[in-house]
C-alpha cells in the first residue's frame, strides 16, 4: 500500500515561491494500475519523484507499507520519458546495473537480466549499445531494467510520451501484458487521456496552479482492454469535460482574459493529448 | 615558390630537396630517432602526470564549492599563462634540466585537463544520476560507475587538449633547456647555420603533432561521442 498523506510541494526559485502541489491525499492498494493525468506543468512528475524519493515533500508524508519514504530505494524504480540508459553500457549491462548491487552471483545476475530482456523481446540485442537502438527499443530496455529489480511499485513518468504512435500502441499493449503477468503496483504519469483510460484501473485527474486532485475515477472495463470498448470511450469524454475547465483556466491566465474556448473548437489532437509538455 | 624566387641565398631558404635529404639522412643515421625517443619520453611522462593531476584537480573543483571558488578560479587564470614561463622557476626548483622540462610539459597539460574534467562532471545529465539512484547506487559507486563514465566525452576532449598543450610546452622547453630532444636539435641546427636541419625538424614537429591528434585523439573522440549518443550514427 502506497499512502500519500497531505503532501504539498513548493519550489523556491529566485527567491520566489512556486506552489506546485497542494494537499495531495492518495492511497494506492497493492497491485493497482493507477495513472496521474493532468495538463503539463501540473506537478505529475514532481509527485512521482517524491514517491521515488528523488524529491522531498515540503509538507505531508509518503509511506509504503507503513514505512516513510526518505530517499530512493530499489522497491520503487522509475522509468523516465527519456529512457535514461547508460550509453557506455551494453543493453545487458544496463539491465544488470541495479541487479548486481543486490548481492546475486554474476551468472545469476546475467541470467535474470537476459530473461527479463526476453520478456520485452530484446534477446537479440543483449550486446548492443543504446545508441544503436530505436526510441521504442530503448524504452523497452528501461522497462526491463526496472522490472528486473522486482520493485514493489513501478513508477513510470510518461514512458511512451516521446514515441511515435505505432510504437506507443505496441508498448502500451505490452505493458498491459506485463502488468497482467506480474500484478505489480504501477504508478503511471501521462498527459494523454486515451493512454490513461486504456491502461489504468484508476485515474487521478490533477488540476493545475497549484496541482491538486480534482477527480478520482475508476476504470471499469475488462482486460485486456480493447480500443473500441464503449466504457472507455465514455470515460474518455467525461475526463475531457473535466479537464476542459482546467485547461481553459490556464489558457485564460496565460493568454488574454477574455479568451474562451468553445467545445467544438477545443484544440484536441486526434490522440487527445493535453499539449506536448514534458 | 619562395625558393624559386631566389631572393634569399640557399643558406636561409634551402631547397625542398635538401630538406627531404636531411630528413632521410636524419632517420638513417639514427639522430632523429634518438631525438624523437628523448622527446617522447618527456612528453609521455609529462602528459601522464598532467592527465592524472588534472583529473584530480577537476574532480576536486567539481565536487566542492570551496575548491571551485579557490582552486578553480586559480586554474582559470593559470591557464592563460604560457607554460614555458614556468621554466626558470622549474630550473631553480629541480636544478636538473630533464625534470624541469618534464615539469613544464606537465604544467602545460594540467590546466586544460582539469577544466575539461570539471565541466564534464558538472554536465552529467541529471536524469542518469536519478536513474542510478533509484536502482540503489549512491556514494562512491555512483561516482565511479555513473558520474565518471558519463563525463568520458569531456575527459577525452581534455586529454586531446592536454596533449596539444604538452607538446607545445615540450618544444618550447627543449629550445631553451638542455638534453638531446627534438627542440634541442632544432637549436643546434640554428647554431650551426644548418637551415635544412631546422626546416626538417619543423616539418617533423608539425607532422607528429597533427598525426597524433588525428590518428589517436580525434578518432577516440569520435568513437566515444558516437557511443555516448552525442554524434549521429554514420549510416548503418
Ligand atoms: N526543481 C524545480 N525547481 C523549480 N520549479 C520546478 C522544479 N521542478 C518542477 N518545477 C515546476 O513545477 C511545476 C510542475 O512541474 P512537473 O512536476 O514537471 O509537471 P508535469 O510533470 O505535470 O508536467 C512546473 O511549473 C515546473 O516549472
Ligand atoms: Mg512531467
Q: B121: domain range?
A: 18-227
Q: Which atom of ligand 1 is nearest the CA belonging to A12?
A: 4
Cell of A252: 485564460
Q: What is the per-residue pLDDT across A48-74, written as a single tens digit (0 to 9) for each?
A: 999 999 999 999 999 999 899 998 988
* Closest CA–CA distance from residue B133 to any residue of chain A (Å): 6
Cβ contacts of A88 on chain B, cutoff 8 Å: 149-150, 152, 227-228
In-domain check, residue B123: yes
Q: B13 in a domain, yes or no?
A: no
Residue A15, domain member (yes or no):
yes
At B208, which helix (H) or strand (E)? helix B195-211
pLDDT in tens, B17-57: 888 888 888 888 888 888 888 899 999 999 999 999 999 99
Q: Which ligand is nearest to the CA of A275?
A: 1
How do strand A59-64 and strand A185-190 relate by DSSP bridges? unpaired
Q: How do residues A23-49 score in pLDDT, each as one tens digit?
A: 899 999 999 999 999 888 889 999 999
> Is position B8 within any domain?
no
A38 CA closest ligand 1 atom index:
22
Any A CB within 8 A of B130 CB? yes
DSSP SS3 for B2? helix
Decide if A49 is inside a domain.
yes
A229 in a domain, yes or no? yes
Per CB-CB distance under 8 Å, the chain B contacts of A129 are 227
Question: Are B134 and A97 a contacting pair at CB < 8 A?
Answer: no
Q: Give per-residue pLDDT as tens, A179-231.
A: 999 999 999 999 899 999 999 999 999 988 788 898 899 998 888 888 888 88
Burial B50-73 (b: 16+ CB within 10 A, else e): bbebbbebbbbbbeeeeebeebbe
pLDDT digits (tens, 9 = 90+) for A232-272: 888 888 888 888 877 777 777 766 655 555 544 444 554 55
Is A72 within 8 Å of B229 when comparing Cβ atoms? no
Q: What is the mean pLDDT of chain B?
A: 86
Question: pTM for this one?
Answer: 0.83
Residue of B nearest to A77 (CA): B134
Q: Tell whether ligand 1 has an atom less than 6 A from the beta carbon of residue A42.
A: yes
Q: What is the pLDDT of residues B113-168, one digit of tens each?
A: 999 999 999 999 999 999 999 998 888 999 999 999 999 999 999 999 999 999 99
Task: Give residue A257's domain range.
Answer: 2-75+151-272
Instruction: Give a yes or no: residue B233 inside a domain.
Output: no
Q: Does B55 fall in a domain?
A: yes
Looking up residue B196, the CATH number of its domain turns out to be 1.10.3720.10
Q: What's the total number of domains in chain A? A: 1
Query: Which residue, chain included where needed, has cell 609521455?
Result: B44
| C-alpha span between A88 and A73 (Å, rounded) | 24
- Pairing of the two strands A33-37 and A202-207: parallel
Contact A88 B228 (CB under 8 A): yes
DSSP structure string for B28-77: HTTHHHHHHHHHHHHHHHHHHHHHHHHHHHHHHHHH-HHHIIIIIHHHHH
Per-residue pLDDT tens over the stretch A108-131 = 999 999 999 998 999 999 999 999
Q: Is B228 on the interface with A (CB under 8 A)?
A: yes
Q: Which residue has the higher pLDDT, B162 or B12?
A: B162
Report d(CA A166, CA A200) in Å as an integer: 20
The pLDDT value recorded for residue A261 is 54
CATH value at residue A66: 3.40.50.300
CA-CA-CA-CA torsion sign (B220, B225, B227, B232): negative
Of these ranges, A40-44, B93-97, B115-119, B225-229, the one predicted with the greatest mean pLDDT is B115-119
Question: How far apart are the C-alpha atoms of B188 and B182, rounded to whole Å?
Answer: 10
Has residue B7 been placed in a domain? no
Domain count across chain B? 1
Amino acid at each position: 500500500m502506497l499512502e500519500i498523506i497531505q503532501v504539498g510541494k513548493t519550489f523556491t526559485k529566485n527567491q520566489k515561491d512556486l506552489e506546485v502541489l497542494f494537499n495531495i491525499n492518495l492511497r494506492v492498494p497493492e497491485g493497482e494500475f493507477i495513472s496521474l493525468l493532468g495538463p503539463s506543468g501540473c506537478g505529475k512528475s514532481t509527485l512521482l519523484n517524491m514517491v521515488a524519493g528523488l524529491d522531498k515533500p515540503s509538507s505531508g508524508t509518503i509511506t509504503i507499507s507503513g514505512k516513510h519514504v526518505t530517499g530512493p530505494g530499489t522497491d520503487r524504480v522509475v522509468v523516465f520519458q527519456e529512457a535514461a540508459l547508460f550509453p557506455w553500457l551494453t543493453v545487458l549491462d544496463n539491465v544488470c546495473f541495479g541487479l548486481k548491487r543486490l548481492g546475486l552471483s554474476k551468472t545469476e545476475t546475467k541470467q535474470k537480466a537476459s530473461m527479463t530482456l526476453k520478456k520485452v523481446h530484446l534477446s537479440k540485442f543483449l550486446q548492443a549499445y543504446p545508441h544503436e537502438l530505436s526510441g521504442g527499443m530503448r524504452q523497452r530496455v528501461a522497462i526491463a531494467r526496472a522490472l528486473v529489480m522486482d520493485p514493489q511499485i513501478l513508477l513510470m513518468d510518461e514512458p511512451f510520451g516521446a514515441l511515435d504512435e505505432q510504437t506507443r500502441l505496441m508498448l502500451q499493449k505490452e505493458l498491459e501484458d506485463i502488468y497482467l503477468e506480474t500484478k505489480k503496483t504501477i504508478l503511471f504519469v501521462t498527459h494523454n487521456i486515451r493512454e490513461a483510460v486504456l491502461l489504468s484501473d484508476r485515474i487521478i485527474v490533477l488540476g493545475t496552479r497549484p496541482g491538486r486532485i480534482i477527480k478520482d475515477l475508476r476504470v471499469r472495463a475488462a482486460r485486456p482492454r480493447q480500443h473500441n470498448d464503449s466504457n472507455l470511450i465514455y470515460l474518455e469524454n467525461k475526463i475531457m469535460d473535466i479537464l476542459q475547465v482546467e485547461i481553459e483556466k490556464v489558457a485564460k491566465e496565460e493568454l488574454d482574459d477574455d479568451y474562451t474556448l468553445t467545445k467544438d473548437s477545443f484544440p484536441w489532437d486526434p490522440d487527445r493529448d493535453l499539449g506536448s509538455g514534458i | 615558390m619562395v625558393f624559386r624566387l631566389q631572393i634569399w641565398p640557399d643558406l636561409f631558404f634551402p631547397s625542398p630537396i635538401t630538406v627531404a635529404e636531411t630528413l632521410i639522412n636524419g632517420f638513417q643515421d639514427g639522430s632523429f630517432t634518438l631525438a624523437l625517443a628523448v622527446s617522447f619520453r618527456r612528453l609521455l611522462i609529462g602528459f601522464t602526470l598532467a592527465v592524472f593531476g588534472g583529473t584530480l584537480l577537476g574532480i576536486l573543483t567539481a565536487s566542492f564549492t570551496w575548491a571551485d571558488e579557490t582552486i578553480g578560479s586559480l586554474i582559470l587564470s593559470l591557464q592563460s599563462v604560457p607554460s614555458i614561463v614556468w621554466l626558470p622557476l622549474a630550473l631553480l626548483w629541480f636544478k636538473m634540466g630533464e625534470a624541469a622540462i618534464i615539469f613544464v610539459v606537465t604544467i602545460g597539460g594540467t590546466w586544460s585537463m582539469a577544466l575539461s574534467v570539471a565541466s564534464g562532471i558538472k554536465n552529467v545529465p541529471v536524469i542518469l544520476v536519478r536513474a542510478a539512484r533509484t536502482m540503489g547506487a549512491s556514494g562512491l559507486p555512483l561516482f565511479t560507475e555513473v558520474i565518471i563514465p558519463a563525463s568520458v566525452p569531456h575527459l577525452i576532449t581534455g586529454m586531446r587538449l592536454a596533449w596539444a598543450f604538452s607538446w607545445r610546452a615540450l618544444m618550447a622547453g627543449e629550445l631553451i633547456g638542455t638534453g638531446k630532444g627534438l627542440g634541442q636539435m632544432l637549436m643546434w641546427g640554428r647554431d650551426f647555420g644548418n637551415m635544412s636541419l631546422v626546416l626538417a625538424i619543423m616539418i617533423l614537429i608539425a607532422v607528429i603533432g597533427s598525426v597524433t591528434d588525428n590518428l589517436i585523439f580525434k578518432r577516440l573522440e569520435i568513437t566515444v561521442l558516437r557511443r555516448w549518443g552525442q554524434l549521429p550514427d554514420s549510416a548503418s
